[in-house]
Structure 1
């Protein structure tokens, strides 16, 4: 995850240690990093850059408020403080109710506004609930709860930006990425349905109900097959 605070000050921080953000090098790699800095500095508003897990170097810029950036950069201050902020409060409430945040999703874009959902579940249970959230809030909650962030495939194909020489929007080459958790704009929420089936299968395996696990496995395979056909 890349965080951009202002045009004059550029700070990078990774959500996982294995993803290099500012790679030190010489010649070609160094020049490429300078180009990336120049590109990122074009965003004059506070912006969160989501690194897309795919076969190329793609990011998704999401313009947010200054407070959202500050909460992402230094969440430990609020976690250790006497009065928790809204994101720490949300984490505390979820844990108090014996739930956990299993993921957040950037679901769609309407004009220039992105929408997101936060998915919750009880450990060992198959029921999944989701609530609407602003992307900045959802990303902060994911950061506090150490939950993965998924992005709708349509958003990636339409809005993702490829970093490299000749930077620009990736209209001529679509990224091949490994996120399959995606649902149609209209109709049932296939993401929640798929996650529910996976949880049911894992619960059946855990309790050694292997016939039930095989049934859930077949249902899951049929669901994924129907998604690819559409």
Structure 2
């Protein structure tokens, strides 16, 4: 059985364009259809991307059901010991350059990491990319960075902060659809990697029917993890992926927030609830950035574009004042 969702891509080019030096990740219209273009990783490179297939002109994303008993169909072992529990950490970007491989945390700090596998090779330099980072909870403290589109990354951070939006997001709609069909989400797993793309599955059961086997849906990791946060269910990672592709921190471990965000615990982030500086200019800029992000998430794109322009004008004014002083 197959379920096909017809989803329109949002015009997200307005989001965060000021904070990425003009680099814009645009979700094109469904009629145009396009897959995401990402920097190529040379042979021996070790950072992986999430799967982002090219959309057809109909903009359909298929989610195949699997009865959970067929490991061959899903491409991985169903044994629980093959998976490691993980949590979502406060990370928003990853980049590689002369400083090494860095993970940017939600509060603006950077954490330097190295590949867990000494044979992982050298990663080519590339610009900052939005990412979701999972922390393994088996005592190894390994991190698995997954490069994703900017909007799912932002929506994930908003979900863990319990931010209320005016209109339901696509992930809230998917959660509601599962409930309306009489299913309950139980678990999300990052299952495998094909070349440079990660795959994930969400496992669901029929409510009130203990005789029916668990079924699973094939999803992109960013979608599966967003759903896991909203459904408050565990997130697991294939052990071989975690140890083969994971990274470990090499600088001050205290810089990694100790309260990793568990999928089944509603922890609210507060780092961006106020500006770091007490100056009026910093406060004004903070309000504009936060308002722009909220407008984009709530799909008020005209408001977000207006706030983006105001933010650009404010920053231009600040630069002029700094030059004069």
TM-score, normalization: structure 2?
0.39
- Aligned to 1:74, the other structure's residue is in SS state helix
Higher relative contact order, structure no. (Cα contacts within 8 Å, ≥ 6 residues apart): 2
The count of residues paired between Structure 1 and Structure 2 equals 144
**Counterparts in 2 of 1:162 and 1:11: CA distance versus 1, 3 Å:** closer
Aligned to 1:113: 197
Task: Check if 1:99 corresponds to 2:183.
Answer: yes
Q: Which residue of 2 aligns with 1:2?
A: 89
Match of 1:221 in 2: none
Q: Deviations over 1:98-152 (max 9, x none)?
A: 2111011111001110001111112452521111100100000101101111111
1:165 Cα deviation from its structure 2 partner: 5.1
Unpaired segments ≥5 residues, structure 2: 1-87, 96-102, 115-125, 254-325
Change (3 A) 1:141 1:57: same
Instruction: Give per-residue Cα distances to partners, 1:1-32, cap 9 Å, x unaligned.
Output: 1243347994449xxxxxxxx9xxxxxxxxxx
Report the equivalent of 2:225: 139
Q: Report the Cα distance in structure 2 between the residues aligned to 1:166 and 1:70, rounded to whole angstroms.
A: 26
Question: 2: CA distance between counterparts of 1:43 and 1:49?
Answer: 17
* Structure 1: runs of 5+ lacking an equivalent: 14-21, 23-33, 168-230
More deviation, 51-60/1-10? 1-10
Structure 1 stretches of at least 4 aligned residues deviating more than 6 Å after TM superposition: none
- Tell me, in whole angstroms, the C-alpha distance in 2 between the residues paired with 1:143 and 1:163: 25
> For the residues of structure 2 that align with 1:153 and 1:162, how far apart are their CA atoms?
15
**Structure 1 residues 97, 111: closer, same or farther in 2, change over 3 A?**
same
The aligned counterpart of 2:236 is 150
In structure 1, the partner of 2:122 is: none
Deviation at 1:39, TM superposition (A): 4.1
- Superposed, which structure 2 residues align to 1:22-37 within 5 Å? 37=111
Equivalent position SS for 2:129: coil
CA–CA separation in structure 2 for the residues paired with 1:160 and 1:39: 10
CA 135–151 in structure 1, closer or farther in 2 if over 3 Å, else same:
same
Q: In angstroms, what is the RMSD of aligned CA positions?
A: 3.1
